[in-house]
Structure formats: C-alpha cells, structure tokens
Amino acid sequence: MSTAGKVIKCKAAVCLEVKKPFSIVEIEVAPPKAHEVRIKILATGICRTDDHAVSGSLYTPFPTILGHEAAGVVESVGEGVTSVKPGDKVIPLFVPQCGECSSCLHPKANLCSRHSFADVSGMMPEGTSRFTYKGKPLHRFASTSTFTEYTVVHESAVAKIDAAAPPEKVCLIGCGFSTGYGSAIKTAQVEPGSTCAVFGLGGVGLSVVMGCKAAGASRIIGVDINKDKFAKAKELGVTDCVNPKDFDKPIQDVLVEMTKGGADYTFEVIGHTETMAAALAACQMNYGTSVIVGVAPTSSKVSFDPMLLFTGRTWKGSVFGGWKAKEAVPKLVSDFMAKKFTLDPLITHTLPFDKINEGFELLRTGKSIRTVLLF
Ligand code: CND
Ligand code: ZN
C-alpha cells in the first residue's frame, strides 16, 4: 500500500538534549510539501561533524535528528519536484544547490545562497518541521537529518544516483569521501610532484590523502596524535607519519624542517583552532596553501601572526570539497562504480541502525574510521 501523502511512523535516533546519547524512538514524518522529497534511508555513515553537534561544539537546536552522510530511495515527492521521482536511488546533500542563485550560477562557488548549508533554524526552508515526536516538532540538521528511517529534504538537497550503486558504500560520497577528496583535487588543486601534509587521519583526512595521491603528490605527510591511524594512512598513500606527541617542539617546526621550508599544501582535518594555525605555519612561506577542512567550535577564533600571510601563503577553507553537490554527487558515484577510487578502506565498521550509540563510541575512542549504520 502506498505511503505517499500519508504520515509515516518510523524509527529514528533522536538527540533530545546536548551531550546525551541517542534515543531510538518512534517518530512521525509528515509528507513532503511543495519542492520537498521524502526519502527512505538505507545506509548512513557517522561523521565527526555529527559528534560536534552532540557535544555542543557545533551549535544546532535540540531536540534534533542528526546525520548527514547517507544514501536512500525516494518514497514520495511534493508538488513541483522534477529532478527525482519515487523509487530513485539518491544521496541527500548537506550543501544544497538550488541552481538558480548567484552562487549556484558562479563557476567558482559551491555554497548556495538561497539554501545555506549553515542554516541553524532546524526547520525546512518554508519554516516548519516534518518530524514530530510525542506531539512536538523535532529540528532537522544540516539540511538532511539521516539518523531516521525516513527523512524529508528540499529538492535542492538531494541528488539522483546510479540505481546499481551500493548504498552501504556510496553513503560516504554524501560527506566524508567527497569532502576530503575534493579539498585536495578541487579546492587546493594539488599539483603532481608536490609535498602535502594532512593534519588528522580520520575518514575525512584519509580522503584528503586519497585526493593528494590521485593528484600526483610525491610526498604526503600524515599528522595524527593517534598512532593507530598510521597503518591505514600508509596503505592509502601517506609516505611519512608524524605524531606531534613524539616531539617537544611545535609540530609546524617539525614539518618545516622535514620539508626543508614548508609543504606545498597543508590540510587541517581535525577541527581545532590551534592545528589550523599550525597547518598554516607548516606550508611554504611564499607559495604554500593551507586548507581548513575541520569544523571549528561555533564562535571560536583563530589567533595567528599576520606575517604568515604577509609573505605569500594562501589560506583557504573547503566545505564539501568545493563541489557543487547536486551536479557533482552523481558523477562521483559514477566514478566509484567505474572503480576510479575505492571506499572500502574508509569503512571499518558496519552496524545495525539501533547500535548508533556504539558507533559513536567507536569514533570517540579512535577505534573506527567510518561506521556505516544499516536500516
Ligand atoms: P575523525 O575524528 O575521524 O578524525 C580526526 C582525526 O584527528 C583523528 O584521527 C584524531 O586522532 C586526530 N586528531 C585529534 N586531535 C589532533 C591533534 N591535536 N593533532 C593531530 N591529530 C589530531 O573526524 P572526521 O575525519 O570525520 O572529520 C574531521 C573533521 O572534518 C571534523 O572536524 C569534521 O567536523 C570535519 C568535517 C568537515 C566537513 C567539510 O565540509 N569541511 C565535512 N565533514 C566533516
Ligand atoms: Zn560530514
């Protein structure tokens, strides 16, 4: 029996309060309104950004449904939706692309100005929520909310992908892989023969490593305080592993010495303001480029010596790898299907959706790269 046009009762992992474990409860998901799409989620990854939200480091209103790295199938669509239809396999997009605003029309921009990726209203663009728990609305997160059997997104925040793509793998194209890979090949535009340093070797950092390698970097230095991350990093292309805990001087000094003057490209993929400043100082003073990929705590400030930029360094940031999400995601999925890159090394754990709290513990204790939750 079709569920189109009806309220769906389903299971969701709800965050009722900041810093509290997820509660698996039954919620109600209203049908999509005009220009909205209701999606049955098949698989979702756990990204550190979700944990930043749980911990309160990244502000988001509670109670909420987190999750932003998923793949699913369209259950029904609202009036006026033309780019997807029921039955289509899709990836929800935490960086929407309306295709019509000044940013979407600019070849260099990937952050839609009509539907901001940084919107913290917790509501759909038209101002209300499609999620209800015990008669009260729940907030959405990052334009997506994927820790639920069903979610509703705006049409600008969903991309149709190859029907044959395995959801338990390509869900990583919804965030971690695309973010890291794009930061290297698109935002930094790493050149063949260059030296790169990647701060943070989690799911996103290792994807930066894959991007640096694909771009032909000849030396990739991996920096992490958890030495357990080094084996996999080497497998993916890291040539030198550095643990800041092994040195009694600042890590930027260690890297400048190792590279005889600084790396061509550095990437901060942790989300700490101190490592953002360290990564800037670790790139070559005339022509080095440093890219901020990690999400810093809301309202935090970085303190740095302006002389670092005065000499010529470039400091950039990269949200979702600089990709225009709605057009890039289907292509990235095609590239995955054509075996142009692999996602398997990033997926260390697969768990049933109910075990979401276990999945977050694996991330917090540094034991996982990516945990994929299956519905
Ligand atoms: P994850 O926690 O898996 O990786 C972070 C790594 O950093 C871990 O291996 C840590 O051991 C390591 N680390 C922690 N502190 C230090 C330190 N002081 N020095 C060196 N290494 C350290 O996280 P992830 O890979 O899922 O995400 C990484 C960051 O990227 C995080 O801040 C997340 O919020 C952000 C991000 C950004 C974007 C974007 O669009 N820019 C998208 N998704 C996630
Ligand atoms: Zn993410």
Digit-by-digit pLDDT tens for the chain (375 residues) are 799 999 999 999 999 999 999 999 999 999 999 999 999 999 999 999 999 999 999 999 999 999 999 999 999 999 999 999 999 999 999 999 999 999 999 999 999 999 999 999 999 999 999 999 999 999 999 999 999 999 999 999 999 999 999 999 999 999 999 999 999 999 999 999 999 999 999 999 999 999 999 999 999 999 999 999 999 999 999 999 999 999 999 999 999 999 999 999 999 999 999 999 999 999 999 999 999 999 999 999 999 999 999 999 999 999 999 999 999 999 999 999 999 999 999 999 999 999 999 999 999 999 999 999 999
Cβ(54)–Cβ(35) under 8 Å? no
CA distance 51 to 68: 11
Bridge partners (DSSP) of residue 89 are 73
Nearest CA to ligand 1 atom 4: 202
Cβ(113)–Cβ(100) under 8 Å? no
Q: Which atom of ligand 1 has the smallest separation from the CA of 292?
A: 41
Tell me the CATH number of domain 177-321, given options 3.90.180.10, 1.10.3720.10, 3.40.50.720, 3.40.50.1100: 3.40.50.720
CA distance 225 to 218: 23
Predicted pLDDT of residue 191: 98
Predicted pLDDT of residue 1: 72
Mutational pocket test of ligand 1: of 183, 269, 290, the residue with most ligand atoms within 8 Å of the beta carbon: 269
CA distance 321 to 188: 9
Mutational pocket test of ligand 1: of 55, 269, 270, the residue with most ligand atoms within 8 Å of the beta carbon: 270
Q: Which atom of ligand 1 has the smallest separation from the CA of 296?
A: 32
Q: pTM score, two decimals?
A: 0.98
Q: Where in the chain is the domain with CATH 3.40.50.720?
A: 177-321
From ligand 2's centre to the CA of 194, what distance in Å? 27
Handedness of CA 38, 40, 12, 6 (dihedral sign): positive
**Range 304-308, long-range pairs (CB < 8 A, 24+ positions):** 304/277, 304/280, 305/281, 308/280, 308/281
Pocket of ligand 1 (CB under 6 A): 47-49, 52, 175-176, 179, 199-205, 223-226, 229, 244, 269-272, 275, 293-295, 318-320, 363, 366
In whole angstroms, how large is the CA radius of gyration of the chain?
Answer: 20
